[in-house]
Amino acid sequence: MKKILYIFLIVSSYCLSFTISDGKYIEIKDGHFYYNGERIRLWGINIMYHHVKNFKGAEITAKRLKDMGFNCVFIWTVKGAFHSPEKKWIEFVDVKKGSETGLDLLDYFVYCLKKEGIFVAFNLSIRGDTLKEDVYDLAKRNDISKEKWWELIQKGYTRYLKFVDPSIKQAYIEKMKFFLNRKNPYTGKKYSEEECIAFYQLEDEMSFLAWPPGKIDDKDNLFLILLKKKWEEFLKEKYKTNEEMWRVWGERIPDETIDNMKFIFYSGNGYSLTYPEGKKKEFYAGTAFKSTPEKRAEDAWQFLYSLTEEFYRDYLKELRNQAKKGIGANVIPVAVDSVIYTRPGNFYDIAKNSDFLCGTGIGVIGGIDKIDNSYGWKFDVKVPFLSHYSVESTLLKVNNMPYCPLAGSNNLNNPYRGVIPFLRSLWASWQDWDGVFTYWWGYFPKEIDIDYKNYDKFPLRVNYEKEKNRAYDLLNDEISCSIHKLSSLIFLNFLLPPAKNPTKFYFGKKLLYSTDAGDYYHFLYPFMVKTSYKYGAEIIFDEKGDYKVKWDGKVLEGEVENPLIWENGVEWNFEDEYIKIDNKYIKGYAGKVSSDIEFKDRIKIKNINRDFIVFLLVSGDKKEIKNSKFLYYAIVNTAFNSGYKEDFSKLQFFRQHIYEYPLPWSVVVDPGNLPIIVKRVECEIYLPFSGIVENYNFYMEKISEEKFESKIKILEKDPIFFGIIKKLK
């Protein structure tokens, strides 16, 4: 027995550990992330540096993240995180080593993560409320006085200024250089040469071209003033005269000339057009944009794309120059923004300028909905096909380009939240993503120390007030963490093959340079979404193609059949409300339970005490279950604070245009408190072999070890977080 245990510990340690090697960096090859010659995926989590509190908190958090299955952490370095007395707008300040504050704490946290074999990704954005007057001096300019510039900056800063203002542009570059050229005293490496950095993100959810500018005649907005000037310069170079511009465009706005442009695209503010023959056409809010003349729209997109391309080209050149060829910042992937709004122009612009794509990720499966004549929490396997939230995550995979969504969230009020990491591992594998991140890890209350045994010493942060609508913490939610841990094995170990022949959707010039480039794909998404779920899908940009959209492969224009069966062993059963995985490496089930659950290979779950479960049985050594030496398993239902109460008669909605979205916080009349109640699952798991099962609690402590003969009995009273099954024969 001892010999078997010893062998297992060696194998287990090898499976779960990862070493970040000197001189090795994540790079892009064949459209995917690679590390040290092998393809790598990132199962990540968002965290703010101050959530680790101190050095002890940094050490424990890094270890805890590794134990929960994460191999990458996304860290913000923006807005108030750090400050520099020399150049305050840069936001950084060097502090004494060992001070456990500011940048010193960040440095130590990065060191702890690297030691645990966890990669780090950084956001490098600048936010306006940290800008200072001396930023003006970063560029030589005579277009506007420093006093006027600062006056306009204070009236309202926009993140888009970097595309038109040379001083702001240089501020971004200087901040990046400042950060990359700092040496972390704990790793001994400059950040520009640090091996544990997986990628950089310049901006997050900026989406400049999701709402392409219309009216630009605004003398109190610095961005619009500078944008107007550049638009006029662009048109003068292309058309030279008003007459030639009007001839090509075919219509014009009164009092608008090549020297005094009023609009880029037609604005929704309401105005009339005058045609050469004296006819007029009236436009009102919401209708004008789509009526922009074809040639004007083409010019507008060409102009806007050129603005962003110039900034990103110069910024990325400087970033690459912060390290020698083949080292660190010279090769590490960079995304210029996250694709959050699914509009072709914005999407194309970001993809064209990034090394890889990041987006917002999958939201929830199951939410508040109408059930019969009243509202309540509903588990609905069909949600990915119906929800507008699914659009971004399902259809942002670009051919031959890594994709890594950064902010999929969990809502702790949702009793079905355990299925969310399960779902993410399925979809990320099906679409062959290179990473998937959860928003976010969360933080300990000020009065509680970060300690390995303190993760259940504060209640779940549920949505219960409008201003506290941020119940996304993962760290003390045993249900979500359990399935995250097991789902990470599926995704990181490539245990679920992707779609074999994804349908390729081509976006041509008549889409990317038309008013449709600013649309939410209304005419296109309905069957693109269904196609992606049936066959897999990816997008190819063809800006020279003289068409709008075409595709190569099968498309699904009718209803998705029930159940939907993927060739990799996944079944989506809409009628009976469950998702099932049954392949050689994984046995999984998420959904309603009406009877015993049976898988291939004589594996069963019987006598289940709950009407909803999430179950995973996963190979621990990348071998098929029949040949694997050890397996991981987890089975959960839900958890909530003691005294938690909801009243759906108080449900409120967020209304936007013709849509209504239920607000989860509005139904909570009591958020509850400690202790957290975990509704545990009792059942019997039947396996075609005998062995030893070790069960662990939320603190990763072994709570039991038993020999079994083909059946594992799980009792409701046992605080099982996950288990390890070792074969004896």
pLDDT at 99: 87
pLDDT confidence of residue 366: 62
Strand partners, 334: 200
The pLDDT value recorded for residue 363 is 57
Q: What percent of the chain has pLDDT over 90?
A: 68
Give yes or no for residue 351 having a pLDDT over 60.
yes
pLDDT at residue 162, as a whole number: 95
Distance CA 696, CA 621 (A): 19
* Predicted confidence band of residue 36 (pLDDT cuts 50, 70, 90): very high
pLDDT band at 390 (very low <50, low <70, confident <90, very high): very low
Q: Which of 307-321, 415-429, 521-535 has the lowest mean pLDDT?
A: 521-535
With a cut of 50, say whether residue 82 has pLDDT above it.
Answer: no
Distance CA 558, CA 40 (A): 36
Orientation of helix 478-492 relative to helix 419-430, angle to 10°: 20
pLDDT band at 501 (very low <50, low <70, confident <90, very high): very high
Q: Report the pLDDT value the prediction gives residue 281, as an integer from 0 to 100.
A: 58
Query: d(Cα 272, Cα 252) in Å, to the nearest integer?
Result: 10
Q: Where are the alpha helices (DSSP H) in 321-388?
A: 344-353, 383-386
Q: Is the Cα torsion angle 67, 73, 77, 80 positive or negative in sign?
A: negative
Mean pLDDT computed over 308-337 = 97
Average pLDDT over residues 315-328: 98
Mean pLDDT over the full length of the chain: 88
pLDDT at 268: 59
Note the helical H segments in 222-331.
222-239, 242-249, 294-320
Asked whether residue 287 carries a pLDDT value surpassing 80, the answer given is no
* pLDDT band (50, 70, 90) for residue 150: very high
Counted residue by residue, the chain has a size of 729
Give the least confident one: 137-141, 190-194, 289-293, 711-715: 289-293
Of the ranges 49-53, 61-65, 271-275, which is most confident? 61-65
Quickly list DSSP for 486-527: HHHHHHHTT-SPPPSSPEEEEEEHHHHTSGGGGS--TTTHHH
**End-to-end alpha-carbon separation of the chain, Å?**
12
pLDDT surpasses 60 at 83: no
The reported pLDDT for the residue numbered 312 is 98
Residues 299-312: tens digit of each pLDDT: 999 999 999 999 99
- Cα distances from 400 to residues 235, 357, 403, 541, 575, in angstroms, run 35, 11, 10, 11, 36
Q: Which residue has the higher pLDDT, 539 or 386?
A: 539
Residue-wise pLDDT tens digits, 664-717: 899 999 999 999 999 999 999 999 999 999 999 999 999 999 999 999 999 999
Which residues make beta-bridge pairs with 330?
A: none
> Which positions ≥6 away from 386 have C-beta within 8 Å?
380
Note the pLDDT of residue 361: 63
Whether the per-residue pLDDT at 374 is higher than 50: the answer is yes
Q: How confident is the model at residue 178 (pLDDT cuts 50, 70, 90)?
A: confident
DSSP H/E element including 377: strand 374-378
pTM: 0.93
Q: Coil, helix or strand for 636? A: strand
- Indicate the pairing of strand 334-335 with strand 197-201: parallel
Q: 580-636, pLDDT tens digit by residue?
A: 999 999 999 999 999 999 999 999 999 999 999 999 999 999 999 999 999 999 999
For residue 650, pLDDT over 80 is answered with yes
